[in-house]
Amino acid sequence: MDELYIGLMSGTSMDGVDAVIVELDETQCEIHQAQTTPYPKVLKEQASDLIEKRVTSLENLGALSTALGHFFAECVLDLVKKSSFKLSDIAAIGHHGQTVFHKPTRPEPFTLQLGNPSVIAAQTGITTVADFRSLDIALGGQGAPLAPVFHDWLFSSPDETRVVVNIGGISNLTFLHPDKALSGFDSGPGNTLMDAWSKQCIGKPYDTNGGWAATGQVLEPLLTYLMADPFFAKKPPKSTGREYFNLDWLKEALAVGEQLKPIDADIQATLSELTAQTIVNDISKFQPVARIILCGG
């Protein structure tokens, strides 16, 4: 048997922590155990509040990182307990953490993920590797998205050009050309705006199966206004997050929408269309594409 590893991931939507036990070699990846653990309500509220308001004390920041570390460690312990393996069988844990701020374009670029990896290592006894994004930013990159490296390993073809569309809180695209270098970037919001609008208007963390959005009408003037944001016209490499695409970002645009006398579902339908259109627009710039592979977080 090749070495076993555990991967821990929590995306911008904060739906939960994905944990997986995988067996890896250079050509294959076998999944032995996987699960998603929802965030405890208090932890999710604290992290979401920090992301949305972007104001906290150093004490609260450190305490939240430690609390998240304990939660991630519990996810590992539960995952291994439900498997046929022991903690001592695991070579290492790859721990992404919870992104609370991502700003690779400022004069002093940085990205910040919480969930103290030392807490995870101490609680599980397993070597824990973390902070995957910072070196890329230090070398002049965006630090995001990370998924293209895995997409290249899993989906690349010597015969055709493929695009992998990954829709999480933020949408990102991976372009796999048979004879060109790997490229990937964020296209814009995935479900983060829809989730936030759903929570504000109907008190639900997300719009199940798009049912609420389907009752509304796409507001073309509002959609045009939203799509005029400079981010969508930027050339790759580019990345973004909830610190940019959030309800505050919508405020000025909603003043335009008010003239149309929309219902809340109209806004939701328009946000859904925004996600789809910005993905399509970026793919169309890289034609011809033989195959689109759609996945999500």
Q: Is there a contact between 3 and 23 (Cβ–Cβ < 8 Å)?
A: yes
C-alpha 221 chain-centroid distance:
28
Average pLDDT, the chain: 94
Complete DSSP assignment for 35-83: EEEPPPHHHHHHHHHHHHH----HHHHHHHHHHHHHHHHHHHHHHHHTS
* 176-220 pLDDT per residue, tens: 999 999 999 999 999 999 999 999 999 999 999 999 999 999 999
pLDDT at 297: 62
293 has pLDDT over 70: yes
Span 147-296: which CATH code? Answer: 3.30.420.40
Dig out the tokens for 253 from the structure: 């645009």
CA–CA separation, 37 and 54 (whole Å): 25
Q: What are the extents of the domains in the chain?
A: 4-138, 147-296
pLDDT at 24 (0 to 100) = 87
How does residue 165 score in pLDDT terms, banded at 50, 70 and 90?
very high
Q: What is the pLDDT of residue 4?
A: 97
Confidence of residue 141 (pLDDT cuts 50, 70, 90): very high
What's the pLDDT at 3? 93
Give the pLDDT confidence score for residue 25 in this predicted structure.
Answer: 83
The predicted pLDDT at position 27 comes to 79
**Two domains, one topology: 4-138 and 147-296:** yes
Helix-strand-coil percent breakdown of the chain, rounded to 5?
Answer: 40, 25, 35
Cα 250 from Cα 7, distance rounded (Å)? 34
Q: Is the pLDDT higher at 39 or at 259?
A: 39
CATH number listed for the domain at residues 4-138 = 3.30.420.40
User: Does residue 111 have a pLDDT over 90?
Assistant: yes
pLDDT in tens, 6-51: 999 998 888 899 999 999 888 788 999 999 999 999 999 999 989 8
Distances (CA, A) of 192 to 13, 70, 188, 205: 6, 26, 10, 10
Q: Is the pLDDT of residue 260 over 80?
A: no
